[in-house]
Amino acid sequence: MATTNHLVSLALLLLLALFGASVRRAGATTFEVGGEHGWAVPPAKDAGVYNDWASKNRFLVGDSVHFKYAKDSVMVVTEDDYNKCKAEHPIFFSNNGDTEVGLDRQGLFYFISGVAGHCERGQRMVIKVIGHDAPPPASPPPPPSNAPPTPPHPSGAASALGAGGLAVAAMLLPVFVYGRLRPTSTAPAAAASAPLSSSSSSSLSPEQRRRADTNLALARARRHLRLAESKASGGAAKLEELLVEETWMEALPGELRKPYALELCRFVAHERLHSPVPVYPPPHLVFHALHATPFDRVKAVIIGQDPYHGPGQAMGLSFSVPEGIKIPSSLANIFKELQKDLGCTVPSHGNLERWAVQGVLMLNTVLTVREHQANSHAKKGWEQFTDAVIKTISLKKSGIVFILWGNSAQAKTRLIDETKHHILKSAHPSGLSANRGFFGCSHANANANAHGLAMQRCSVMEASTIARA
């Protein structure tokens, strides 16, 4: 049987091997394609407007482009398909009306409309992406003489998103750095992301399929974040109204209407209105773990306790803090162990949302807390709700890896069917207990082989070389 240290190593390795992540460049920009006009067929006299716009903007690795459109679509294609205005097997396809594509590498990105005839009429665009230290980019190459001119709409102004932002598509490399979700607008949610069609995905490489899958997961998470924010902006929304992710609503039917949950709702609402100190996290992030990791995407579960209780720390994901916030000791120790055991570069921030969108449910057992008062919302009903989440995963899924760091998390073992799932236990990574079993593992590769896990190289990558999330 594996030792505690071996299990720690295996748990960390699992996260590396299964869930690549990406650095979010501070100050990254999301460019609104077409401005107020959105992504549409341009006027005949301005058929090259999208490429004119692209040539006047400076796109850096980590930026993204946001497409708003109606009854249309956007595709990322090869240069050949761009020149032909046709792509039977696009690298990426979306027709949900609200698409954000991350610029995750240097070089040229080719975009066209997927609607017949639109590309030929100018609805297409080439974007040149450069590194952070490169000189301003040159204009995109002109279209071939026998092809129609290329595209973005007038007033396609860029909107800086600061340290937030939801980027699209990073390669699933075992890189222990992260990106951040952020709505591109405060408007109500757009339609859900459309899945890749079998025809468009069948010829893609494994890497391209992973990218496309991550694109869709990120768009889906962004939609949930916007909708929750919209619900919360109306005032003291009920907890039931703040859970907007469809697969969790189906998996937990009526859970937030049970008597304990209604009492919990009243308690949290009263606390937000009358507590002498703030309550964290803000309402739209209470169910962020469930919104970022839909039930149908859960692959692993990391169980925490209650949210961080310092100003600006809590973001609805266990162990995670927003960019710009000092990395807490627990998360710093996780980073140290990964660096020691696998040689990974320690990231400059502690935002773990990139794990979440790729299937790691970062679940605290209590979802709200008073400022500077740890466990102040414990034993008010949250434990019953999060127990229901864990039991539902155990009952309805199989092969899930539950990572239980510390006694509080390990108490949840009773909720998990060990004949169907993998349970990994160790000491908690906090400053007080990390030396009692969390630190000291050094056999990650051996444990990976022993447990049949695919170990990939831990790449050291700069923020400038990874898609932001």
For the segment 27-48, the average pLDDT, to the nearest whole number, is 87
Pairing of strands 360-364, 369-370: unpaired
The 3-state secondary structure of 30-90, one letter per residue: EEECCHHHCCCCCCHHHCCHHHHHHHCCCEECCCEEEEECCCCCEEEECHHHHHHCCCCCC
- Asked whether 338 and 364 are in contact (CB, 8 A), the reply is no
* Listed range (118-127, 229-238, 390-399) with the worst mean pLDDT: 229-238
What pLDDT is stored for residue 428 in this prediction?
79
**CA separation for the pair 421, 382 (Å, rounded):** 24
Determine phi and psi for 394, rounding to 5 degrees: -60, -40
For domain 210-451, give its CATH number from 3.30.230.10, 3.20.20.220, 3.30.1330.80, 3.40.470.10: 3.40.470.10
Q: How many residues does the chain have?
A: 469
- What is the mean predicted confidence (pLDDT) over 159-170? 27
Q: Where are the domains of the chain?
A: 30-130, 210-451
Q: Sorting pLDDT into bands at 50, 70 and 90, what band is 383? A: very high
Of 20-34, 115-129, 337-351, highest mean pLDDT? 115-129
Query: Cα separation of 148 and 294, whole Å?
Result: 42
Across residues 27-43, what is the average pLDDT?
Answer: 87
Alpha carbon distance 165, 66 (integer Å): 11
**pLDDT mean across residues, the chain:** 75
Structural element, H or E, at residue 361: strand 360-364
Handedness of CA 38, 41, 43, 47 (dihedral sign): positive
Q: Which residues, listed in sequence order, are joined to residue 66 by a DSSP beta bridge?
A: 32, 100
For 420-438, write each residue's pLDDT tens digit.
Answer: 999 988 887 875 554 554 4
Q: How confident is the model at residue 236 (pLDDT cuts 50, 70, 90)?
A: low
Q: pLDDT grade, residue 164 (50/70/90)? A: very low
Which token pair is 433? 């207990």
Burial class of residue 392 in the structure, from the number of CB atoms within 10 Å of its CB (0-12 exposed, 13-18 middle, 19+ buried): middle
Residue 227 CA to residue 250 CA, distance in Å, equals 17
Residues with Cβ within 8 Å of 5's Cβ and at least 6 positions away in sequence, in order, are: 426, 437, 440, 441, 443
Collect contacts of 452-459 with beta carbons under 8 A, ≥24 apart.
453/10, 453/13, 453/14, 453/17, 454/17, 455/13, 455/17, 456/16, 456/17, 456/173, 456/174, 457/174, 458/16, 458/174, 458/175, 458/176, 458/338, 458/342, 458/343, 458/344, 459/173, 459/174, 459/175
**pLDDT confidence of 285, banded at 50, 70, 90?**
very high
Q: Quick check: helix, strand or coil at residue 101?
A: strand
CATH of domain 30-130: 2.60.40.420
228-254: average pLDDT: 88
Which pLDDT value is given to residue 302? 94
Cβ–Cβ under 8 Å, residues 20 and 175 = yes
**Helix (H), strand (E) at residue 94:** strand 92-94
Q: Write down the pLDDT at residue 177.
A: 34
Looking at residue 141, its pLDDT comes to 54
- Choose between 444 and 103: higher pLDDT: 103
- Whole-number pLDDT of residue 15: 53
Q: What band does 384 get if pLDDT is binned at 50, 70 and 90?
A: very high
Nearest to 354 by CA among 224, 160, 182, 201: 182
pLDDT of residue 458: 32
In this predicted structure, the answer to whether residue 345 has a pLDDT above a threshold of 80 is no
pLDDT in tens, 71-128: 899 999 999 899 999 888 888 888 888 888 988 888 899 999 999 999 999 999 999 9
Instruction: Using the predicted structure, report yes or no on whether residue 48 has a pLDDT greater than 60.
Output: yes
pLDDT at position 312 is 94
The mean pLDDT of 391-419, rounded to a whole number, is 94
pLDDT score of 347: 80
Q: Which of 149, 156, 123, 148 is nearest to 31 (CA)?
A: 156
Distances (CA, A) of 80 to 9, 356, 424: 45, 35, 48
Quick one: pLDDT band at residue 12, thresholds 50, 70, 90?
low
What amino acid positions are annotated as catalytic residues? Answer: 306
Amino acid (one-letter) located at 390? I
Range in 120-129, 269-278, 287-296, 328-337 with the lowest mean pLDDT: 328-337
> What are phi and psi for residue 266, nearest 5 degrees?
-65, -40
10 Å Cβ neighbour count for 312? 13
Average pLDDT over residues 407-413: 92
Vertex 430 angle, CA 320 and 316, to 5°: 20
